Amino acid sequence: MFHSPFRLKTSDSESSNSEDIDSLSPEKLIAYDTPIKLPEIEVPEMKMTSVERLSLWEQINVLEPELKNAVESGEKDYAELLKSKISDLKASEPYFTLHEKMKMALEKSDFSGAAKYKLQMDKIGVPKEFLDGVKNKTRNVDGSETVKQAVTSALMSKEASEAANQTEVQNSGTFVSEDGEQIVYSAKSMTSTNRVDVEVVSQYFREQSNPTKHRYIFLYRVAITNNSPFTVQLVSRKWQIRTINPNTNKTEVQEVSGPGVVGQQPILEPGQIFEYNSACPITQKPKDNIRVLGRMEGCYLMVTGSNGQHYFQAKINPFYLILPPDVMP
């Protein structure tokens, strides 16, 4: 039905019917009490049983320190044998293959790809029996760098999640601006434009952030639902990312725009949902014990009609990039 990318020619009357993000000045964010259903995360097919998977993790946990000893003692042939065995084991475990993909994505500054792989890894998780053994101190992972990193990440994510459930302030709250205005903030937002609904939830990417260097990465997950009776296509995106410069105490605005999202210009039939994950890096020191590091808002250019002759901007209400309490300096 549609051809993309579109080259739209608009009259003055058409332009007046389309909201421009630059004319939007939402100074306050509505704190939504209705929980947002996060997009479902698809994970690679698990071909092993839980018992086989537990055995695989235990083998890697034993073989990695053995490989280290073989390298240090100069047993080259044995080290190569162990390296090959470990590589084969990891290749059959989706968690480790996704971890390698995430590392490669981060090396290329592909934060969108890294976000996707990270969420998939969290969905798969470390085998419960293995994790319980570490927590009960019946299983030692200090000798295996790969396994230790995975277990530490899983335990930290679990603790952060439990802390959020207990405090109920992990992802929302208020603070007073320099002008004395009370700002309500939330890590989620919901917006509806012409019955095209956009829901966003952000979360702190703990494993790839470096608080000592004031480098923080946030994931955000988006669900776009076409509740209109018309077929629509997402043609382009525009984001505004607001942060506070700690040196000048002034708000800085970075604009990011481009065709589609995550390399796609999805077409949504009535009732269809398009979901994607991305990430946003923030490099700055938290200010005055405020956990909010930034605010994101924006819009998607949507087109409809047999030739894409009608268009509108589907607004994305502000949502905030919020640090967990335990990360604060």
Looking at the domain assignment, is residue 1 inside a domain?
no
CATH no. for residue 267? 2.60.40.1470
The total number of structural domains in the chain stands at 2
- Torsion angle in degrees (nearest 10) through CA of 116, 217, 291, 171: 0
d(CA 219, CA 118): 9
**Beta strand pairing status for 292-304 and 267-268?**
unpaired
Residues 163 and 176 in one domain: no
Check residue 326 and report its DSSP letter: G
Beta bridge partners of 174: 184
Clarify whether residues 125 and 224 are in a common domain: no
In terms of domains, do 137 and 243 share one? no
Whether 57 and 151 map to the same domain: the answer is yes
Residues 153 and 99 in one domain: yes
Q: For residue 259, is pLDDT > 80?
A: yes
CA nearest to 312, candidates 299, 295, 327, 323:
299
130 and 248 in one domain?
no
Question: Across residues 241-260, what is the average pLDDT?
Answer: 83
Examine the pLDDT at 12 and tell me if it is beyond 50.
Answer: no
Boundary (domain end) residue, out of 111, 142, 167:
167
Which of residues 124, 150, 167 is at a domain's end? 167
Check whether residue 92 and residue 207 sit in a common domain.
no
Q: Is residue 72 part of a domain?
A: yes
Long-range interactions of 165-169: CB distance < 8 A, separation 24+: 167/325
Residue 73 reports pLDDT greater than 70: yes
d(CA 293, CA 291): 6
Domain boundary among 167, 189, 222: 167
Q: Which two tokens stand for residue 157?
A: 């994510």
| Domain shared by 91 and 194, yes or no | no
In this structure, the answer to whether residues 192 and 214 fall within a common structural domain is: yes
Q: What is the pLDDT of residue 178?
A: 54
Q: Are 290 and 175 in contact (CB under 8 A)?
A: yes
111 compared with 65, residue with greater pLDDT: 65
Q: Are residues 212 and 309 in the same domain?
A: yes
In a domain, 157, yes or no: yes
Distance, in Å, from the CA atom of 14 to the CA atom of 23, rounded to the nearest integer, reads 16
CA geometry: angle 203, 206, 212, nearest 5 deg: 125
Domain co-membership, 117 together with 209: no
Higher pLDDT, 57 or 163: 57
pLDDT at 277 over 90: no
Which helix H or strand E contains 302, and what residues bound it?
strand 292-304
231 lies in some domain: yes
Domain that holds residue 196: 12-40+172-327
Please indicate, yes or no, whether residues 64 and 139 belong to a single structural domain of this protein.
yes
